[in-house]
Structure 1
Amino acid sequence: LIYRATPQWFVSMDKAGLKNDAMAAIDGVSWVPAWGKQRIQGMLSQSPDWCISRQRTWGVPITLFVHKETYELHPQTQTLIAQVADLIEEKGIDAWYDLDAATLLGDDAAHYDKVTDTLDVWFDSGVTHAAVLARRKDLDRYPADLYLEGSDQHRGWFQSSLKTGIAIHGKAPYKQVLTHGFTVDAKGYKMSKSMGNVIAPQQVMDQLGADILRLWVSATDYSAEMSVSQDILKRTADSYRRIRNTAKFLLSNLSGFDPAQHLVPHSEMIALDQWVVDRARGLQEEIAGHYETYSFLQVYQKVHGFCSLDLGGFYLDVIKDRQYTTPADSLARRSCQTALYHIAEALCRWVAPILSFTADEIWEHIPGERDKTVLWESWYEGLEALPADAPISREQWQQLLQTRVAVNKQLEEVRSQGLIKGSLSAEVTLFAEPDLAKLLSSLDDELRFVLITSEARVKPLAEAGEQSAETEMAGLRVAVAASSHGKCERCWHHRPDLGVDPAHPALCGRCVTNISGSGEVRLYA
């Protein structure tokens, strides 16, 4: 190798204090993840004077004229650069190379050399804040809200943009910088055609849909390397189906519901419905906060958890009885539909930035008048907090959820022994410590709807005998027994009042009330 010194163009990092100013500007930028700040500080602190010239036959030309003897720039350099820019805009980049210096300099051309060097490509990308933001009316702002790129750009684009921004405007060209890792296979290997582990995005979209690809990105910790494989994408598709199926359940149970006519005021809703709307309200605040900090993994986990646990594992299970057995226009059913409507409105907005196509599909089927697309909307404002005088507080609902989990485990154990077929063929007795017993007893007959059993009794813990089983919940023992009563063919509950009405020998008392009377009254569940 032969090393030789050649004339080059440099930007001094120290002469005008550019490095110090850039280092100071770093503190005013939000770096996501936070370690990006230390990374660029370390690289910038070691940055030498920036060589911005290259000797290539392609690229953006350095449009300068240099005196042949003194090497000084032409005294009209600023004007000449503007003239050359107009010429290039009219005739293309080759206009500089084809240009006869005398065209612009006249007789001075004999004393000046036309520079044939090109700009460093990092300088090209480093001035995008001028080339893009300043030249577009809809983006005419400085600094930009966000710069987004891979972790290698702390040495490249992020740094070159910072230097040019400070040099031109005196402040950083961005308010926030987000860094993401690189895509690797399931074993952590870099994707390579020779290794055969490349997964093409278009192939994923063709097979699974664009929303699955979007969901995979959101469900991945982008601050590190992001693993992807067919198995990972299949698991992502399963998660997607959970969210989509939840939305389908919400929409299918809003049949015949018109929010303009049937929306129940929050203060009149059944206690369980008030709770789930309050739960959605609290979750929306968390989700909005996560979007603000680009914590898409947290958004995914919150939404998926809400669909799987709060809704699929509890609320939607409990309301099926009320939704399918109470009169169509009863408060019990309309209250439930009101809650479903509020959740659908909110859920659609939560997933819109990620599952854009799915969100628009949901949006089209939510009852009521609305704009063309959910992507024009802001967060849903119809979610209300649990009233201060609510009969059951948030903390008490958490206790009821824990109780239900404990009871379910005992029901499953008894079912696995072949003693019952399902939870509705069972009667449960809950032996609880005083405070829990008081809460459970306050639900009266509606406790069985929360537990989805045909009967639920509450007794003091001290009365628990050997027939009861200890649970993971402190202060609670549970006894499960198969119901000895007949099964109502309408609600499937086993009730002692089955056939009490001779006109409906196969129905229980509440079903008779629901089909031929005023309908049952629900307060809690």
Structure 2
Amino acid sequence: MNYKDTLLMPKTEFPMRGGLPNKEPKIQENWNKSDIYQKVQEKSKGLPKFILHDGPPYANGDIHMGHAENKILKDIIVRYKSMNGFDAPYVPGWDTHGLPIETALAKVKKVNRKEHSIAEFRKMCAEYALEQVDRQREQFKRLGVRGDWENPYITLTNEYEAEQIKVFGEMANKGLIYKGKKPVYWSPSSESAFAEAEIEYQDKRSASIYVAFPIADGRSVIDEDVSIVIWTTTPWTIPANLGISVHPDYTYVVVETSGHKYLVAEDLLEELTSVLEWEQPTVLNKVKGADLDRILAKHPFYNRDSLVMLSDHVTTDSGTGCVHTAPGHGEDDFRVGKRYDLGILCPVDEKGHMTEEAPGFEGMFYDKANKLVTDKLTDAGLLLKLEFITHSYPHDWRTKKPIIFRVTDQWFASIKQIREQILNEVKEVKWYPLWGETRLHNMVKDREDWCISRQRAWGVPIPVFYGEDNTPIISNETIEHISNLFREHGSNIWFEWDAKDLLPEGFTSEHSPNGEFTKEIDIMDVWFDSGSSHQSVLEERSELVRPADVYLEGTDQYRGWFNSSLSTSVAVTGKAPYKTIITHGFVLDGQGRKMSKSIGNVMDPIKVMKQLGADIIRLWVSSVDYQADVRVSDDILKQVSEVYRKIRNTLRFMLGNLNGFDPNKHRVEWKDMNELDQYMLVKVNELVKRAKNAYDDYQFSTVYNAIHNFCTIELSSFYLDLAKDTLYIEAEDDHKRRSMQTVLYESVVALTQLVAPILAHTADEVWEYIPGEKEESVQLTSMPEVTEYPNASVLLNKWDQMMDIRDEVLKALENARNEKVIGKSLAASIELYPTEHTKELLSTITDLDKFFIVSDVKVTGVKDQAPAEADQFERVAILAKAAKGETCDRCWTVTQTVGTNEKHPSLCERCATIVAKHYE
């Protein structure tokens, strides 16, 4: 007889190799065929809602690892919630308006905008955006992200734009929308105003100049042979200078040096003496800032005066304490100039070129004008110092080129009027991480106005008409009408129809006695688009609710989507659109550097999926502390792949040992199990509790570590190792074997369900091979429940101590192996000399040889009586020796009972009995 044939070795068709790049598309095809998303929604119907609202990615170009991290994090949450008692629909979205698509048409499609009407150009933008949506949709689906992909929300759709118009109208109705002339961030490279959210700061090399403004009229406070010294890093704004600001509470000094007299802040005199290389300046006079009010200085090279004004925005952090003021090019400048009725001068056009209002500089690009300005100042003898500094400077986040402050007519949303309401709502939101609350609070607390108009073609029109007297007309009637028209025809009609055709039939206004109207040509800021999604999506789609439970995006969205959504939602509803904000950091390379094509360190998720599979990316996302910046590289993904292999092999081993097990027939009840099996079910229960708590707290790395450790430590290194003897050797229906199979069954089911939100493809693959009747997909099951086992704490205490003793035995066996005393552990016999407490514990355990996986165990005395050659440990002294007897051909145990059975002389007594009873 071939005794190998009598062993119940693992048997399963579940493949050892993942083969994810080839297998995942087939699994996804099955999901599509079975419409798994709708089946999950049907199963969840009637359960409490959980809404994770998708922040729309921009529809331009292939996805990158940041996209992958974001979408996978969302998918993990939604999959978990739908398996844990919630109706959790996921509606993906796309942001489809804005400058990048206009630019892409020019670069990629070679479209010359000037050759087409605005309406024609917009149609091309829409077509391009929808192409990008289709492209990205397939890439997101390839990541295994489950959602209503056939019915996403897209900001260019008629329905979305119609609701956005309502948001604008409601804010206007509450007096929060107005048109005004103000300095705004202006991007010459984009030829458009920008909101603060669209600004990013980069280092820029700038000219730093100190300039003397001679006194024209000192009003008996300052002599007219004195000059006021200012400092600026934007020499090109000197032609726009109309005044100088000083602080009313500062003390200013008139100093004489090298035959010249200058006025500066007293607190800065020492620093300026060094910077300007003044030789022994003498203080001639001191004056309070308040006394300098309305003194006149001369513009350095134009025949006009510069008014000295008082303002609290002046500081002594740098400069001279006397601030060059150009109301057309600065927010503080504008504010103080308005207070003094100074007027506005903005001699720079939309392309950044100087206008005829800056004589001598006409047509010159503003940045190029710096050199000519300093030359003119030098010729006038008023340039005291020129140097170059590198400093942080605002840039256009799209073109990456510098922006300027420029006064223009723009549409604004007043944040100031609802700021306290917004700040109160910030307090009510739950933040992951906690510092998010402070970050958003600080962004809102000093914010006054949001510039929402853009001078571009591709976006949602600002739905405002103008009367014959140029008065803006926004009413509930016009808003409702435009919203309905956009819902029916789309927003392109704004650029195709005349104003009279866009107005309600018979519409009249006191501002247009002749019935003539014009329409606004600016479009809305794209952040207003996406920021309206709480109305256009959460409120409008029947399966969703407002407020959402979670918004989850990158840290850059504090200034973007989190901010714009909050502002519009509080303005319209009085409440935040979200209950919880979760943020993740940026994806860096393995060395912690930003990914860049020029460096060559970009990790492409599409290539990774072709090489390793989406589940490896998903497992990596779950493994990192996503709330900080995270690193990814080939080496990191290789390590993640090893963890995947370990988890997969553990699941496969359990499936193999469930061959022939039917949970409906063979499952052993808790009360009929031995303590070790009960202990393992308690450990499974602990894993379930820890993993679910971590999922609930959005701590996915804790889930990852808990599952990995359970597979490698509790299962592979312990239970599955000692279970082999019973699973392979005993008869198929042996009670101990069925009890262990029950533990394996409960373990593999729980593990598959717990890992399903992360390893979406692998979990469904494993599910197919789990024995017994079950749902068609693990996605249609519920998360395992935490069970209240009787005496669980007693079991844990007892067997955790046994695990500690086992660790000491393993160390002693390793020492014996290194000294060539034994080979495999089954060739060993051990003598234990425990402490009194440990001896009492060991006396309650049967089959110690099976627990320690050795051939023989003797508890021979107490620790103090151990022989000198025994290994000494905290709980027990251990003497490991070679076991006496022969090795059984079937179970590999070394025992003196081998040869006692005449019919099966090469077997031990146990194996001979099993073979005789079941296989002869």
Task: State the TM bucket, normalised to the shorter chain.
Answer: over 0.9
Query: Secondary structure in 1 aligned to 2:607?
Result: helix
1:267–1:387 Cα contact (<8 Å) kept = no
Task: Pick the aligned partner of 1:479 from 875, 879, 895.
Answer: 879
After superposing the two structures, state which structure 1 stretch, 46-55 or 364-373, moved more. 46-55
> 1:217 is matched with which residue?
621
1:125–1:157 Cα contact (<8 Å) kept = yes
Asked if 1:402 corresponds to 2:402, the answer is: no
1:393-416 CA-partner distances (Å, limit 9, x unpaired): 211111111111111111112112
1:266–1:384 Cα contact (<8 Å) kept = no
> 1:52 is matched with which residue?
452
Please give the alpha-carbon distance, in whole angstroms, between the structure 1 residues aligned to 2:916 and 2:790.
34
Please give the alpha-carbon distance, in whole angstroms, between the structure 1 residues aligned to 2:887 and 2:659.
28
Query: Secondary structure in 1 aligned to 2:473?
Result: coil
Question: Relative contact order (C-alpha < 8 Å, sep 6+): which is higher?
Answer: 2
The structural deviation recorded for 1:475 is: 2.8
1:33–1:223 Cα contact (<8 Å) kept = yes
Letter of the 1:423 counterpart: S
1:175-205 CA-partner distances (Å, limit 9, x unpaired): 1111001110000111111111111111111
Q: CA RMSD in A?
A: 1.9
After superposing the two structures, state which structure 1 stretch, 177-186 or 392-401, moved more. 392-401
Letter of the 1:207 counterpart: Q
> 1:228 is matched with which residue?
632
The structural deviation recorded for 1:277 is: 0.9
Distance change in 2, residues 1:205/1:4 (3 Å): closer
Q: Which runs of 5+ in 2 are unaligned?
A: 1-235, 237-347, 349-404
1:122–1:157 Cα contact (<8 Å) kept = yes
Map of 1:401-420 to 2, 5 A cutoff? 401-420=803-822
> 1:523 is matched with which residue?
none
1:208-257 CA-partner distances (Å, limit 9, x unpaired): 11100100000011011110000100100000011111110110000000
Please give the alpha-carbon distance, in whole angstroms, between the structure 2 residues aligned to 1:174 and 1:277.
39
The structural deviation recorded for 1:346 is: 0.4
Task: Pick the aligned partner of 1:237 from 614, 624, 641.
Answer: 641
Distance change in 2, residues 1:405/1:448 (3 Å): same
Q: TM-score, normalised by structure 2?
A: 0.54
> 1:102 is matched with which residue?
500
Letter of the 2:648 counterpart: R
Please give the alpha-carbon distance, in whole angstroms, between the structure 2 residues aligned to 1:101 and 1:59.
18
> 2:791 is matched with which residue?
388
Asked if 1:498 corresponds to 2:898, the answer is: yes
1:275–1:386 Cα contact (<8 Å) kept = no
Map of 1:434-513 to 2, 5 A cutoff? 434-444=836-846, 446-458=847-859, 459-471=861-873, 474-513=874-913
> 1:289 is matched with which residue?
693
> 2:528 is matched with which residue?
123
Letter of the 1:380 counterpart: P
1:471-493 CA-partner distances (Å, limit 9, x unpaired): 3xx23211111112111111111
Letter of the 2:727 counterpart: Q
Greater per-residue helix proportion: 1
Q: TM-score, normalised by structure 1?
A: 0.93
The structural deviation recorded for 1:454 is: 0.5
Task: Pick the aligned partner of 1:299 from 687, 703, 717.
Answer: 703
Query: Secondary structure in 1 aligned to 2:904?
Result: coil
Query: Secondary structure in 1 aligned to 2:831?
Result: strand
1:25-62 CA-partner distances (Å, limit 9, x unpaired): 11211111122111111111132211111222221111
> 1:336 is matched with which residue?
740
After superposing the two structures, state which structure 1 stretch, 230-239 or 506-515, moved more. 506-515
1:184–1:228 Cα contact (<8 Å) kept = yes
The structural deviation recorded for 1:113 is: 3.3
> 1:78 is matched with which residue?
476
Between the two proteins, the alignment pairs up a number of residues equal to 509
Please give the alpha-carbon distance, in whole angstroms, between the structure 1 residues aligned to 2:866 and 2:699.
48
Query: Secondary structure in 2 aligned to 1:90?
Result: helix
After superposing the two structures, state which structure 1 stretch, 354-363 or 455-464, moved more. 455-464
Please give the alpha-carbon distance, in whole angstroms, between the structure 1 residues aligned to 2:406 and 2:795.
79
1:289-327 CA-partner distances (Å, limit 9, x unpaired): 111111100000000000000001101001000111111
The structural deviation recorded for 1:518 is: 9.3
Query: Secondary structure in 2 aligned to 1:136?
Result: coil
Asked if 1:194 corresponds to 2:598, the answer is: yes
> 1:184 is matched with which residue?
588
2:883–2:894 Cα contact (<8 Å) kept = yes
Please give the alpha-carbon distance, in whole angstroms, between the structure 1 residues aligned to 2:668 and 2:796.
21
Query: Secondary structure in 2 aligned to 1:298?
Result: helix
Greater per-residue strand proportion: 2
The structural deviation recorded for 1:389 is: 8.7
Task: Pick the aligned partner of 1:62 from 462, 468, 479.
Answer: 462
Asked if 1:41 corresponds to 2:41, the answer is: no
Percent identical residues: 41
> 2:192 is matched with which residue?
none
Letter of the 1:394 counterpart: L
2:416–2:447 Cα contact (<8 Å) kept = no
1:442-481 CA-partner distances (Å, limit 9, x unpaired): 224x01111101111113112112021113xx23211111
Please give the alpha-carbon distance, in whole angstroms, between the structure 1 residues aligned to 2:406 and 2:683.
70
Please give the alpha-carbon distance, in whole angstroms, between the structure 2 residues aligned to 1:240 and 1:328.
31
2:682–2:792 Cα contact (<8 Å) kept = no
Asked if 1:253 corresponds to 2:657, the answer is: yes
> 2:540 is matched with which residue?
135
Please give the alpha-carbon distance, in whole angstroms, between the structure 2 residues aligned to 1:218 and 1:475.
38
The structural deviation recorded for 1:385 is: 4.6
Which has the larger Rg?
A: 2
Q: Which runs of 5+ in 1 are unaligned?
A: 520-525
Query: Secondary structure in 2 aligned to 1:5?
Result: strand
Please give the alpha-carbon distance, in whole angstroms, between the structure 2 residues aligned to 1:518 and 1:35.
67
1:407–1:478 Cα contact (<8 Å) kept = yes
The structural deviation recorded for 1:206 is: 0.8
1:75-127 CA-partner distances (Å, limit 9, x unpaired): xx222222222323333322012221222265656454311121111111111
1:366-402 CA-partner distances (Å, limit 9, x unpaired): 1111111111111124x75543299x72111111111
1:320-350 CA-partner distances (Å, limit 9, x unpaired): 0011111110101100101111111101100
Query: Secondary structure in 2 aligned to 1:393?
Result: helix
> 1:160 is matched with which residue?
564
After superposing the two structures, state which structure 1 stretch, 41-50 or 148-157, moved more. 41-50
> 2:245 is matched with which residue?
none
2:615–2:760 Cα contact (<8 Å) kept = yes
1:484-513 CA-partner distances (Å, limit 9, x unpaired): 211111111111222222222111122223
After superposing the two structures, state which structure 1 stretch, 79-88 or 202-211, moved more. 79-88
2:650–2:716 Cα contact (<8 Å) kept = yes
Please give the alpha-carbon distance, in whole angstroms, between the structure 1 residues aligned to 2:916 and 2:419.
83
Letter of the 2:597 counterpart: K
Please give the alpha-carbon distance, in whole angstroms, between the structure 1 residues aligned to 2:879 and 2:406.
90
The structural deviation recorded for 1:4 is: 4.9
Asked if 1:315 corresponds to 2:723, the answer is: no
1:346–1:380 Cα contact (<8 Å) kept = yes
Letter of the 2:459 counterpart: G
Query: Secondary structure in 2 aligned to 1:176?
Result: strand
2:500–2:517 Cα contact (<8 Å) kept = no
